Structure 1
């Protein structure tokens, strides 16, 4: 099932089920948000699809029109943005099976030569131990915090880069969407396309600046795909400038193209009690191996990031904008 959150003709937030052709969204009756739908499903012990089927509606709206008019929201949010944790894991993708084999050989050679960097050593741990048997604990991934629900931009909305940033570049990723149940059990609603969006110049100055580089906006959506995913997901990431594509590259994700299993990444995120607080929403990015920045391309204000992953529905599009941070040295007041 493909779910979206949207603003209806009366200006109210609603949940819609996208049809199999991606042409229309049927509005669910009596449901004001995906979060509300998930809470009901958890309370009833039902799958999200069955809970949605229990709230059928007859009104359908044109999906392309909703996107064009900016009426589609991120597919999951918490009523209180402070109770939405946006996080991610890096060094998780290889791109293909052949890339995995080549990386194995490169890591072994660097280990023998004693030239492994800290990042490559962590990547090696993932390649060698990131896909344990089901129910077993594998290697820890890199982990980072991005912000709370206020940083999440809707599809077609601007991605705001602060004026102190040294770069603002896309990171096309798969995102897991979760709600924590009353007993502290995380429930995965499904997956969405995400643009994790980072400051790559700051990060490359020193790997200890990773935390600073990730404290940025991000975008998720348009759709939430419920259920399990195909192991091999293929799409494309593009940078559009003045209506023309200035950079494009295939985007591969899914476990067939990763060195960590989704179960392992989820375990290392939710093993912390603070990440299992009842009622909280978690939006977790699973990493990427595709960046325009890595190809020497620098995004500019006005450029549009477009990430396409057909198995997850419509593309995610967001223009880049630079905004003033609103804070200056000496801005802290002493009480």
Structure 2
């Protein structure tokens, strides 16, 4: 089952449920967040809660995508209570990708020298898949922003005026809502574009935190239920309507050095991320990005991320604000 949010003909938010090829509006529900809160309150699964509502009119999600009426599949009514975060070096090819980004000549990079990225990756290989109920090694973790950074499918991912670059990262994101007692509930999974500044990161690994503070998009549809063991997706960049880069990406636990449970533990072990009512969009990482293949994204490029079972592809246009060299001014009270 897939869930999405759209703007209906009256301009209001509507929840859409897709089972098979048919997508219909879910009556009596104002948002996915409202639906999740209802399910938690009733002690039901999300599927059971959905079955308690009548289906309304059928909709054409592909047509709505063309009309830019698709929204992120879940949002919090107060954007400050929605958190965009992620983990890196979690996929079996991710260390090679990261090292390609930070590549040096063979003389500079002697065999004896092991990068911090490779050390982190090896830690995941050795301790990222603990037995059920046990705690494994913690992954690389980063913060992207709050709900104000969430861009709807079809919207523009905008790099700030101080950026060095802006490029796509095709990922799977876990979607969570925290109950009143502080228990995180996983709602499902969605495609995500974890937009980042790879040139800035390449200058110095300690700039990773700066490079991640960018907008991101996820959806359009949210997969309810378990994540497939292997997700075989495709990421591509179109420039002036022509494909300039295309590559498969793999996700799911078969292709990861960490279990989902381990990644979830190391995010939600912090009390600050178990605040009642908060929404979390946690991106699980990737081993595929165009920057590692020497592709530089340009103004107006469109990124398309798709995977079987996740519904409508996630599409976003990349734009760049004009270079801003003026310092931000802080006033004294």
1:49 alignment partner in structure 2: 47
RMSD, aligned α-carbons: 1.7
- Tell me how far 1:53 sits from its aligned partner: 1.3
Aligned counterparts, 1:45-194, within 5 A: 45-95=43-93, 114-194=112-192
Of 219, 228, 234, which residue of structure 1 is paired with 2:232?
A: 234
- Tell me how far 1:327 sits from its aligned partner: 9.0
Query: What per-residue deviation string (whole Å, max 9, x for no partner) do you get for residues 89-145 of structure 1?
Result: 00001149xx9xxxxxxxxxxxxx642122211111001110111111001000000
State how many pairs are aligned: 319
> Aligned to 2:272, what secondary structure does the other structure show?
helix
**Cα distance in 1 for residues equivalent to 2:93 and 2:199:** 23
- Whether contact under 8 Å (1:95, 1:252) holds in the other structure is no
- Tell me how far 1:310 sits from its aligned partner: 1.3
Note closer, same or farther for the CA distance 1:74–1:326 as it changes in structure 2 (3 Å cut): farther
- Tell me how far 1:49 sits from its aligned partner: 1.0
Note closer, same or farther for the CA distance 1:327–1:166 as it changes in structure 2 (3 Å cut): closer
2:302 alignment partner in structure 1: 304
Question: What 5-or-longer segments of structure 1 have no aligned partner?
Answer: 100-112
**Cα distance in 2 for residues equivalent to 1:134 and 1:209:** 34
1:258 alignment partner in structure 2: 256
Of 264, 267, 270, which residue of structure 1 is paired with 2:268?
A: 270
- Tell me how far 1:331 sits from its aligned partner: 1.3
**Cα distance in 2 for residues equivalent to 1:186 and 1:326:** 40
- Tell me how far 1:58 sits from its aligned partner: 2.5
**Cα distance in 2 for residues equivalent to 1:256 and 1:302:** 35
> Aligned to 1:120, what secondary structure does the other structure show?
helix
Note closer, same or farther for the CA distance 1:215–1:149 as it changes in structure 2 (3 Å cut): same
**Cα distance in 1 for residues equivalent to 2:50 and 2:178:** 19
> Aligned to 1:310, what secondary structure does the other structure show?
coil
**Cα distance in 1 for residues equivalent to 2:118 and 2:44:** 42
TM-score by length of 1: 0.92
- Tell me how far 1:52 sits from its aligned partner: 1.2
**Cα distance in 1 for residues equivalent to 2:139 and 2:5:** 31
Compare 55-64 and 34-43 and name the one that shifted more.
55-64
Aligned counterparts, 1:21-32, within 5 A: 21=21, 24-32=22-30
- Tell me how far 1:325 sits from its aligned partner: 8.4
